[in-house]
Amino acid sequence: MVNFLIFGPPGSGKGTQSVKLAEKYNLMHLSTGDMLRAEIAAGSALGKKMSSIMSKGELVPDEVVIELIASKIDNTKNRAGFLFDGFPRTVAQTVALEKMLNERGMKIDSMLVLDVDHDELVKRLILRADQSGRPDDADPAVIENRIDVYRAKTEPIIDYCRQKGIYQPVNGVGSIDEIFGRLCDGMKTFLTR
């Protein structure tokens, strides 16, 4: 199985592109944000706890996310691999993910990073709030906090993956199809279709 990380700050288009890439290459799209929002929508105890954390733009505890992902991996069949969207978010989570994958005879094959400038990110997030009803995208203070959290806690993963030789930067500005084509170019050495 082939495993990709798709990265970029909030609003970079990870979710949109992940769905298209997963469909094209028969990958299981693992969006931790979607998984956590499903818990919140279900009104579970975990969902209520996570709602409070996510509404402030903060990160969900590592052990909860690892548990959700491990369960999904263990219950997935007939896929070429996994596309991790929104996880890992810290170097510690990256190490934990590598450990979990190694225990299953798997590894992280490539980290695709969507590069988008700050002003474009803010514009996209505000538009997304209007179009999809995501309240975490509507408040400018929460948007700035999410971008700051990404830069402080998540960007160091880029250096970690660069040292492992799996980092691939991708220009994240342009039409959805243009960006999709660039991502496919970065994935084609691992997959054919």
Q: What is the DSSP string of 130-166?
A: HHH--GGGT-HHHHHHHHHHIIIIITHHHHHHHHTT-
Which pLDDT tens digit goes with each residue over 54-82?
788 777 788 778 877 888 899 899 999 99
| pLDDT at 58 (0 to 100) | 79
Is 190 domain-assigned?
Answer: no
| pLDDT at 164 (0 to 100) | 95
| pLDDT at 40 (0 to 100) | 85
| pLDDT at 166 (0 to 100) | 96
In angstroms, rounded to a whole number, what is the distance separating the alpha carbons of residues 139 and 54? 13
Is 155 domain-assigned?
Answer: yes
89 is catalytic: yes
Is 191 domain-assigned?
Answer: no
Is 192 domain-assigned?
Answer: no
146 is catalytic: yes
Is 193 domain-assigned?
Answer: no
| pLDDT at 129 (0 to 100) | 80
Count: domains in the chain: 1
104 is catalytic: no
Is 132 domain-assigned?
Answer: yes
**The 3-state secondary structure of 64-117, one letter per residue:** HHHHHHHHHHHCCCCCCEEEEECCCCCHHHHHHHHHHHHHCCCCCCEEEEEECC
CA atoms within 13 A on the CB side of 89: 25
DSSP 60: P
Low-confidence ranges of the chain (pLDDT < 50): 193
In angstroms, rounded to a whole number, what is the distance separating the alpha carbons of residues 193 and 191? 7
| pLDDT at 136 (0 to 100) | 67
Please pick, among 14, 24, 37, 77, the residue that the annotation labels catalytic. 14
Range of the domain at 43: 2-184
Is 98 domain-assigned?
Answer: yes
What CATH number is given to the structural domain containing 105? 3.40.50.300
| pLDDT at 57 (0 to 100) | 77
Please pick, among 48, 72, 146, 188, the residue that the annotation labels catalytic. 146
Please pick, among 48, 56, 134, 151, the residue that the annotation labels catalytic. 134
Full-model pTM: 0.82
| pLDDT at 28 (0 to 100) | 95
| pLDDT at 54 (0 to 100) | 76
151 is catalytic: no
| pLDDT at 192 (0 to 100) | 61
Is 189 domain-assigned?
Answer: no
In angstroms, rounded to a whole number, what is the distance separating the alpha carbons of residues 136 and 54? 8
